[in-house]
Structure 1
Amino acid sequence: MPRVIVDCAIYRNGRRTEGPEDFSDALDEARASGDAFLWIGLHEPSEKEFSLVTSEFGLHPLAVEDALTAHQRPKLEVYDDSLFVVLKPASYEAETDTVTTDELMVFIGDSFVVTVRHGEGAALSAVRNRLESEPEILRRGPTAVLYAVSDAVVDHYIEVADELQMDLEEVEAEVFTPTSDSRASERASNAQTTAARIYNFKRQVLEFRRATGPLATPMQKLAGAGVPFVDAKSQPFFRDVNDHLTHANEMVEGLDRLLTDILSAHLAQMGVRQNDDMRKISAWAAMAAVPTMVAGIYGMNFEHMPELHWIWSYPTVIALMLAIVVGLHRQFKRRGWL
């Protein structure tokens, strides 16, 4: 299985040691030592490839099915021979305003840790390197790996939330930036784009929430007592992770509320602009109606219209129409319709 095994090592007393190349022999060696454990990392294994690990580590079939199928919610499952935790690492692409979530499964049991990741954004090499530089934490055994992985995933949630916050502030400034009448056409063309971007952000925040929200219950359980295969002295560490997760969830909730407010404000502004446009159209229509009405009266060709025989009737009617139109224009201008 060299293709799917990312790394495989025995850790004894907090230090990485050389062990047998075959992971089944390495597990026997770790269990025989009493103060060591095996950590094997896999990347998108097939059912056939993972079956070897399943038989050697005694993993529960239901957990194995979840690990192979992916598309799971964050959760914690306790089985007879292992503890199964599902995490969803998140990443944010600022250029496309897209939140992407991968999946990371962690099995811990008697002297072993098995991590299975799906996607390219959940690499654990940095976590492994950090743990190997902190042997005092690594001495806690498989629990240390679960803590470090959870801590890395949750801390990155906060980074993603910060990046989303920065981009949302740009959208907010775009919505509330006043534009002059000379840019009305440009403003109208950008309104649809802004609304589409806000809706896209709503979808991304929803995807982000699917990763952070369900993880709260597993972290609360790990921060408590009585979870099998978890070192009782590690509760303060998981409480710290749970605190960070709570902060991340609060940030996600804040982002969602901010998006709702921005969208409501944007729609309200569009309504106000449409009303303003309708008032302008109505004002110009009213001014155009006056000469149309007068011209329509004199276009009926009645014989008994005394003013038709006046020398100054034509310029008088024209002047009257202009006076009425100018008066209406001033009135509409004073009321802000034009």
Structure 2
Amino acid sequence: MTERSWTRGRPLGKMWADRMRGLLNNGDNPHQAGFDAAGASSVVDCGVYVDGKRLPGDFSPDQALAEASGREGGFVWLGLHQPGAAEMTAIAQVYGLHELAVEDAVKAEQRPKLEQFNDVHFLVLRTARYVPHQELTESSQVVETGQMMIFIGERFVITVRHGDASEMAPVRADLEKQRAALLQQGPWAVAYAVTDRVVDHYLEVADDFEADLDIIEEGVFSRDRIAPIQQVYQLKRELVEFRRAVVPLQRPLASITSSQGVVPKEIRRYFRDVQDHLTRTVEQVSSYDDLLNSILQARLAQVTVDQNNDMRKIASWAAIATVWTAFAGVYGMNFDYMPETHWKYGYPGLIALLSLATVVLYRAFRRNGWL
């Protein structure tokens, strides 16, 4: 199943069609109103589910809610991708969403959290995906993050996705074809499936991130030391971005698993499984952070040692050169009475003496590890 927009070839409810037509007739920018360049809506899919099965036919958001409200155990799953403020406001009017939650869903700049507005719960997740690259550089993007907002009501669940990570089409297909019994639990079952998908991607990112970490570690501690400090720092920055997505999600999941009466008991069991996976990811991220700190400190220590070695070599050669400079300075004063100035073998004798001193000093510095 591929993601699609309901406005392309799908019938619209009269009320919804009038609202969308009004947005465009008012001269609003299509993208700001929630449409793409072709005039398509941000709605990816809109389905009505009764007893775990999707009803046949195409529904606009207002039609879907009316259909679900008239059936026992029915609910709507409305999927949106990067909606604009105008279209999100129109959806909020139909489904009774709070304006603060709507604003958060449009701006997509939130930390993972769980809030309740009257009878509607608002769950915010941060999505993540690994970005493949040929080699890690000081500007490589390793982890790309986005956001997933979920509105959970008694008769509906609305998923709002920002970014390209964690597409919902596979989740919807899996629930419809293989997990109809889970769908019978209602909107919270969808919320679990979406959260499980997001956290599973965390595990994949963590495993792929470990491969980059191994390469960096090998490069830092190899004889050639092919991993510059900029690469280590860049990988640490990407880990911080990933950590911001993973760690704050612990509190919302803890609230869900400990809630009584709001989330069905059976669904809480599924959420506890997601919580276990998240805990594993948090532990991996913490261990990666500690290891990166150790690698960074080791690389800085190596840089310091290399600088000290360079300074010792410079000082050694400077000491050897000082011997020649000292003799040249003394015999360059042109006094009449200088030792051996009129000796026939004075010049070659001095050169031999300086050469001997050079060899002795070189061997001494070499033996002490300075050269």
For the superposition of Structure 1 and Structure 2, which TM-score range results when normalised by the shorter chain?
A: over 0.9
CA distance in 1, matches of 2:339, 2:172: 103
Which piece of structure 1 moves more, 126-135 or 13-22?
Answer: 13-22
Q: 1:215 and 2:245 equivalent?
A: no
- Aligned to 1:40, the other structure's residue is in SS state strand
Instruction: Give the structure-2-normalised TM-score.
Output: 0.85
Cα distance, 1:22 vs structure 2:
3.0
CA deviation after TM superposition for structure 1 residue 28, in Å? 2.1
The percentage of aligned residue pairs carrying the same residue is 47
Q: Which runs of 4+ in 1 moved over 6 A?
A: none
> 1:20: Cα distance to partner?
5.7
Q: What is aligned with 1:276?
A: 309
Conservation of the 8 A alpha-carbon contact between 2:116 and 2:122: yes
Distance in 2 between the 1:271 and 1:20 partners? 67
Unaligned regions of 5+ residues in structure 2, if any? 1-5, 8-40, 134-139
Query: Is 1:206 aligned to residue 240 of structure 2?
Result: yes
1:227 Cα deviation (Å)?
A: 6.0
What is the DSSP-based 3-state SS (H/G/I as helix, E as strand, rest coil) of the residue aligned with 2:259? coil
CA distance in 1: counterparts of 2:237 and 2:57, whole angstroms: 47
**How far is the alpha carbon of 1:19 from its aligned partner?**
4.6
Contact map agreement 2:78 2:159 (CA 8 A) in 1: yes
Q: Distance in 2 between matches of 1:119 and 1:227?
A: 33
Alignment-derived partner of residue 43 in structure 1 = 81
Distance across 2 between alignment mates of 1:12 and 1:207: 40
In structure 2, what is the equivalent of residue 319 of structure 1? 352
Q: Which residue of 1 aligns with 2:218?
A: 173
**Structure-to-structure mapping, 1:237-316, within 5 angstroms:** 237-316=270-349
Report the count of equivalent residues: 326
Deviation of the 1:233 alpha carbon: 2.3
Q: Distance in 2 between matches of 1:210 and 1:104?
A: 14
- TM-superposed CA distance for 1:115, in Å, is 0.8
- Within 2, Cα distance between the matches of 1:177 and 1:34? 66
Alpha-carbon separation, structure 2, partners of 1:306 and 1:290:
17
Contact preservation (8 Å) 1:221, 1:227:
no
**Whole-angstrom CA distance in 2 between matches of 1:306 and 1:198:** 61
Structure 1 residue 60, shift from structure 2 partner: 1.2
Does 2:179 match 1:134?
yes
CA distance in 1, matches of 2:293, 2:304: 16
- Show the counterpart of 2:33: none
1:175·1:266 contact (CA, 8 Å) conserved in 2?
yes
Q: Does the aligned pair in 1 maintain the 2:257–2:272 contact within 8 Å?
A: yes
Residues 83 and 106 of structure 2 are in contact (CA less than 8 Å); yes or no, is this contact kept in structure 1? yes
Contact 1:27 1:38 in 2 (8 A): yes
- Distance in 1, matches of 2:168 and 2:58, equals 22
Contact 1:103–1:122 (Cα < 8 Å) also in 2: no
Give secondary structure in 2 for the equivalent of 1:76. strand
Q: Report the Cα distance in structure 1 between the residues aligned to 2:254 and 2:71, rounded to whole angstroms.
A: 32
Q: How does 1:30-179 map to 2 (within 5 A)?
A: 30-95=68-133, 96-132=140-176, 133-179=178-224
Equivalent residue number for residue 225 of structure 1 = 259
Q: CA deviation at 1:78?
A: 1.0
Q: Per-residue displacement from partner, 1:94-148 (whole Å, max 9, x unpaired)? A: 3134211111110011111111111222320011111112111111111110000
Distance apart, 1:226 and its partner CA: 2.2
Q: What is the CA–CA distance in structure 1 between the aligned matches of 2:333 and 2:275, rounded to whole Å? A: 85
TM-score by length of 1: 0.93
Q: Which deviates further from its counterpart, 82-91 or 299-308?
A: 299-308
Q: Does 1:24 align with 2:62?
A: yes
What whole-Å deviation, never above 9, does each CA across 1:246-283 have from its counterpart, x for those lacking one? 11111111111111111100010111111111111111
- The residue type paired with residue 253 of structure 1 is S
Amino acid corresponding to residue 187 of structure 2 in structure 1: P
RCO comparison, higher one (Cα < 8 Å, 6+): 1
- Distance (Å, rounded) in 2 between the aligned partners of 1:45 and 1:318: 85
- SS of 1:239's equivalent? helix
Structure 1 distance, partners of 2:128, 2:174, is: 20
Please, which runs of 5 or more residues in structure 1 have no aligned partner? 180-186
CA distance in 2: counterparts of 1:116 and 1:25, whole angstroms = 19
**Residues 199 and 278, structure 2, Cα contact 8 Å, conserved in 1:** yes
The 1:292/1:201 distance shift into structure 2, 3 A limit, reads: same
Deviation at 1:332, TM superposition (A): 0.8
Residue type matched to 1:328 in 2? L
3-state secondary structure, aligned to 2:160? strand
CA distance in 2, matches of 1:260, 1:156: 25
Once the two structures are superposed, residues 13-56 of structure 1 have per-residue CA deviations (whole angstroms, 9 ceiling, x without a partner) of 11111256232232122122112211010111122212221111
Q: Quote the offset at 1:236 in angstroms.
A: 1.0
